[in-house]
Amino acid sequence: MTQHGNHGDHHNHGSLKSYVIGFILSIVLTIIPIVLVMNNMLDKGTTVIWILVMAVLQFVIQLFFFMHVREGEKPRYNVQTLVLGLVIVFTIIAGSIWIMMFNKY
Q: Per-residue pLDDT tens for 17-48?
A: 888 998 999 999 999 999 999 999 999 999 99
A 10 A CB-CB count for 12 gives 9
- Residue 64: the pLDDT is 79
What residue spans define the domains of the chain? 16-102
For the cut 50, the answer to whether the pLDDT of residue 9 exceeds it is no
- Residue 80: the pLDDT is 79
How far apart, in whole angstroms, are the C-alpha atoms of residue 18 and residue 37?
29
- Residue 34: the pLDDT is 94
CA atoms within 13 A on the CB side of 30: 8
A 10 A CB-CB count for 100 gives 12
Give me the DSSP letters along 63-78. Answer: IIIIS-TT--S-HHHH
Q: Per-residue pLDDT tens for 62-93?
A: 877 877 766 656 666 777 777 888 899 889 98
For the cut 70, the answer to whether the pLDDT of residue 5 exceeds it is no
- Residue 59: the pLDDT is 83
How far apart, in whole angstroms, are the C-alpha atoms of residue 88 and residue 80?
12
Please tell me what DSSP assigns to residue 62: I
